[in-house]
């Protein structure tokens, strides 16, 4: 092919002339930037301007320097069985490319395009110079970090130099191996270079966005991560970033949409170097605790992410940056999310630890599963030969050079990084388990340690000492028959909500608030209300530490509870999620931080100061007010109106009226904004006076454990009387039959929460025969319960 023929094609294309269909000309990264610059800028989504050095320009460079045959000859020498000479082949090709000269016609066009960008900016511009291969960002292959990018490049000479380095990076050792593993090495792949005006994120912040929750594939959430300075620290896994979870339906309603905010340690800040390029500085400790985005910015990025996803009609992986000079947010990259797009939503594997162990360290869980193996600490990819098949790789951070090693490991642990780091993305892509951001792992673990990794218990992965036993269950929900009676969850842990939402279900019949108070909040609510009156100075100091980010300590309780409740309500939206208000006994409340000062010792806490009786009592009324404030925030401010409320252990209708009046005074008025308030039917008086309770409440939930205990007068925890505790007892069944009868006659909803319908098919048959509306199960019993319900309905 002659030089003239080559020169006839576009060597440079500005972003305003590029569309997504130009992947063959400029690669996925640049085609996407052009598409967004043209189509999304008008919607108010800020995309920095730039241009692409095309794949044709790369081919011209190879042609003019006589490199085509040379590269093919080198690749023929590659050991494709063991890749023993991979680094040598890569180095030889790259050195020869870097010795090449950029053709004069291409050099002139690059200089001209750069000057145009500078003219538009009114100054000599700093630019980002990024590789964009023509096979990049395809579903199933992210090419994450395989090729090189350069930041803070200023001046024509420096730009031309970095363009050549990008060309050479097509033959990085990791890129050659990646193309082989993905089956792309049989295809012609060229490299385009994107040149984009730099956002001065070094003076502000930047990060990564996934338009679905990346671990579970939950589609209604946007995950935003961020750090101070340039976002390379997140991509490289050099820091543990802040995390923000945003709920799409709330965004669409114009409601407050932030489900959760979590500060990362952000120990490093990458900034411009005065001599060009970048340097990584230690972050000031005060800034480490500070979130990199305010609520308005989080929601703006969430809205932009939804618009970008809608435009591309697929889940997206997006990079954002905030300019420290103009204060504006920008989108600097967007590519298809490559993992969940290929998963079968009807197939699910469930892993469960069946024994407990000593917890050594924890971090963000990447991938769902459990495995065990021996630790191997490696400090660089050059030590890859030391890793044996099936060992667990432990290192500080990973970069793309680690990719071939990661496939060999049973699991990966990194001391730094977040859920959008390179290690996390590649681990998902190769199907490996990983724990990232396990900050003390290198101090706690050593080479040779036998450990078990549990990534099946929520978003935090845990490393236990020794080899623990676990079970694996495979589920196929395709074509699964559901009963007419609603199968619902009994749920406590917000971290499991997104995972469980994929199971066949009709919502959550019982969300236990106590788990959140005990595990997340940890402080007795009255110790926050009356903090100044606390007598225990150690507890006072601990509360100060936990609440350090809140000027009002009561807001700590409301905010943490609202985030947890909202996460579960969002996971199952728009299905009902019924939140039971707190039902600790006095001895359990006393175990919370600061709790002993506010709780009196009771001989029989099970029948003591619990449930509804606490809510209106002066000793707890203000604590109940904090619970109600969290519910109001989730429903009214966030728009999660699928959240319903349930009152436990309500002894008399008079007590029920007191609680409802108090709730109304706190802004939770029954039927307002669709609010439904249920009552637990767990005391014989709830059945005997069911008519009166039905006048007050929207429905009942039968608590079979307490109802059995109080009907038979049997302590459900007694080993001696264990055989007498039986939901199938005629007296208990009469109670259940009667309360269902009254509820149905009064047009009220009624369900049951308990284990019996999954353990005993005949009990499920009994409930369905009475016309119950729903049955709620613990997660491990749901599928068996559904099976029993379907069989019962057939009969």
Residues assigned a catalytic role: 422, 753
Beta strands in 504-642 (DSSP E): 508-512, 577-580
Nearest CA-CA partner of 14 in 51, 57, 69, 54 = 51
How far is it, in rounded angstroms, from Cα 526 to Cα 592?
A: 10
How far is it, in rounded angstroms, from Cα 222 to Cα 214?
A: 9
Looking at the DSSP assignment, which residues form a beta bridge with residue 702?
A: 681, 752
How far is it, in rounded angstroms, from Cα 419 to Cα 415?
A: 13
How far is it, in rounded angstroms, from Cα 136 to Cα 235?
A: 17
Tokens 């007694």 correspond to 718
How far is it, in rounded angstroms, from Cα 463 to Cα 357?
A: 9
How far is it, in rounded angstroms, from Cα 624 to Cα 471?
A: 40
How deeply is 11 buried, as exposed, middle or buried, from its count of CB atoms within 10 A (0-12, 13-18, 19+)? Answer: buried
How far is it, in rounded angstroms, from Cα 574 to Cα 578?
A: 12
Residue 661, number of CB atoms within 10 A of its CB:
11
Is 291:228 a contact under the CB 8 Å cutoff? no
Is 442:462 a contact under the CB 8 Å cutoff? no
Enter the tokens of residue 222.
């946007």
How far is it, in rounded angstroms, from Cα 795 to Cα 782?
A: 20
Beta strands in 198-256 (DSSP E): 205-210, 221-228, 242-247
Nearest CA-CA partner of 786 in 749, 761, 751, 753 = 761
Tokens 């750069």 correspond to 114
Enter the tokens of residue 148.
């090189």
Is 662:627 a contact under the CB 8 Å cutoff? no
> 647: which residues sit within 8 A by CB, 6+ positions away?
580, 581, 611, 612, 615, 656, 659, 677, 678, 679, 680, 697
Residue 721, number of CB atoms within 10 A of its CB:
14
Tokens 């080559």 correspond to 6
Which helix (H) or strand (E) is 294 found in, with range?
Answer: none
Residue ranges in 354-444 assigned as alpha helix (H): 403-406, 422-430, 441-444
> 349: which residues sit within 8 A by CB, 6+ positions away?
368, 369, 472, 473, 474, 475
Which helix (H) or strand (E) is 551 found in, with range?
Answer: none
Residue 83's region, left for phi above 0, alpha for psi from -120 to 50, else beta, is left
How far is it, in rounded angstroms, from Cα 604 to Cα 606?
A: 5
Looking at the DSSP assignment, which residues form a beta bridge with residue 114?
A: none
How far is it, in rounded angstroms, from Cα 18 to Cα 37?
A: 9
Q: Give me the phi and psi of 704, to 5 degrees please.
A: -65, -30
Tokens 């499991």 correspond to 496
How deeply is 228 buried, as exposed, middle or buried, from its count of CB atoms within 10 A (0-12, 13-18, 19+)? Answer: buried
Q: What is the 3-state secondary structure (H, E, C) of 465-511?
A: ECCCCEEEEEEECCCCCCCCCEEEEEECCHHHHHHHCCCCCCCEEEE
Angle formed by the axes of helices 23-39 and 295-312, nearest 10°: 130
Helix and strand numbers (H, E) in the chain are 31, 30
């Amino acid at each position: 092919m002659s030089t003239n023929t080559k020169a006839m094609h576009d060597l440079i294309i500005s972003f305003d002339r590029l569309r997504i269909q130009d992947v063959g000309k400029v690669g996925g990264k640049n085609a996407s930037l052009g598409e967004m610059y043209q189509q999304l800028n008008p919607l108010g989504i800020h995309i920095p301007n730039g241009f692409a050095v095309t794949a044709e320009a790369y081919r011209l460079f190879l042609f003019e320097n006589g490199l085509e045959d040379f590269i093919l000859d080198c690749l023929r020498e590659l050991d494709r069985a063991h890749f023993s000479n991979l680094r040598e082949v890569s180095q030889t090709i790259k050195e020869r490319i870097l010795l090449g000269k950029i053709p004069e016609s291409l050099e002139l066009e690059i200089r001209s395009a750069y000057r145009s960008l500078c003219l538009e900016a009114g100054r000599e511009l700093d630019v980002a110079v990024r590789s964009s291969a023509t096979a990049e960002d395809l579903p199933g292959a992210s090419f994450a970090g395989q090729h090189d990018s350069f930041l803070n490049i200023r001046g024509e000479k420096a730009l031309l130099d970095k363009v050549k380095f990008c060309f050479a990076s097509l033959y990085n050792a990791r890129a050659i191996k990646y193309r082989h593993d993905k089956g792309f090495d049989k295809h012609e792949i060229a490299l385009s270079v994107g040149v984009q005006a730099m956002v001065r994120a070094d003076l502000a912040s930047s990060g990564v966005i996934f338009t679905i929750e990346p671990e579970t594939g939950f589609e209604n959430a946007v995950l935003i991560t961020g750090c101070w300075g340039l976002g390379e620290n997140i991509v490289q896994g050099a820091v543990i970033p802040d995390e923000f979870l945003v709920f799409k339906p709330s965004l669409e309603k114009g409601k407050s949409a932030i489900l959760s905010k979590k500060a990362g340690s952000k120990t490093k800040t990458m900034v411009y170097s005065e001599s060009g390029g970048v340097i990584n500085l230690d972050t000031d400790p005060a800034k480490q605790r500070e979130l990199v985005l305010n609520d308005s910015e989080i929601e703006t990025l969430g809205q932009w992410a939804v618009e970008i996803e809608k435009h591309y009609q697929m889940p997206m992986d997006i990079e954002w940056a905030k300019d420290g000079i103009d204060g504006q947010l920008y989108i600097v990259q967007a590519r298809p999310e490559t993992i969940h797009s290929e998963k079968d939503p009807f197939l699910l594997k469930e892993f469960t630890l069946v024994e407990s162990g000593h917890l050594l360290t924890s971090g963000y869980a990447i991938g769902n599963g459990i495995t065990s193996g021996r630790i191997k600490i490696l400090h660089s990819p050059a030590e890859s030969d030391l890793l044996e098949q099936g060992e667990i790789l432990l290192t500080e951070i990973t970069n793309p050079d680690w990719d071939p090693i990661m496939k060999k490991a049973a699991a990966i642990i990194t001391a730094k990084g977040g859920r959008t780091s390179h290690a996390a993305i590649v681990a998902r892509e190769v199907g490996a388990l990983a724990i990232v951001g396990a900050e003390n792992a290198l101090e706690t673990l050593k080479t040779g340690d036998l450990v078990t990794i549990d990534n099946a218990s929520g978003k935090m992965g845990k490393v236990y000492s020794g080899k623990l036993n676990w079970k694996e269950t495979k589920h196929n929900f395709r074509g699964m028959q559901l009963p007419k009676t609603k199968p619902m969850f009994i749920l406590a842990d917000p971290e499991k909500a997104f995972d469980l939402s994929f199971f066949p279900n009709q919502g959550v019949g019982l969300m236990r608030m106590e788990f959140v108070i005990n595990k997340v909040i940890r402080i007795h609510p009255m110790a926050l209300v009356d903090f100044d009156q606390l007598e225990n100075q150690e507890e006072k100091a601990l509360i100060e530490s936990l609440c350090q980010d809140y000027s009002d300590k009561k807001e700590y309780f409301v905010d943490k509870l609202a985030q947890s409740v909202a996460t579960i309500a969002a996971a199952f939206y728009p299905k009902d999620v019924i939140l039971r208000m707190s039902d600790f006994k006095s001895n359990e409340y006393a175990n919370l931080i600061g709790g002993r000062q506010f709780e009196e010792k009771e001989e029989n806490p099970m029948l003591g100061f619990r449930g509804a009786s606490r809510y209106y009592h002066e000793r707890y009324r203000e604590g109940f007010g904090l619970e109600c404030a969290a519910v109001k925030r989730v429903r009214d401010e966030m728009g999660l109106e699928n959240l319903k409320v349930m009152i436990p252990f309500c002894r008399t209708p008079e007590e029920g009226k007191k609680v409802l009046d108090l709730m109304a005074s706190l802004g939770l008025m029954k039927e307002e904004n669709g609010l439904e308030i249920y009552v637990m039917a767990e005391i014989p008086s709830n059945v005997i006076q069911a008519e009166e309770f039905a006048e007050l409440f929207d429905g009942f939930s039968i608590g079979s454990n307490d109802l059995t205990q109080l009907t038979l007068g049997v302590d459900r925890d007694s080993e001696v009387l264990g055989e007498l505790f039986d939901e199938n007892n005629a007296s208990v069944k009469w109670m259940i039959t009667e309360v269902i009868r009254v509820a149905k006659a009064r047009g009220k909803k009624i369900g049951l929460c308990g284990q019996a319908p999954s353990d005993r098919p005949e009990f499920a048959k009994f409930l369905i025969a009475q016309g119950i509306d729903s049955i709620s199960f613990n997660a491990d019993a749901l599928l068996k319960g559904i099976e029993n319900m379907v069989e019962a309905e057939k009969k």
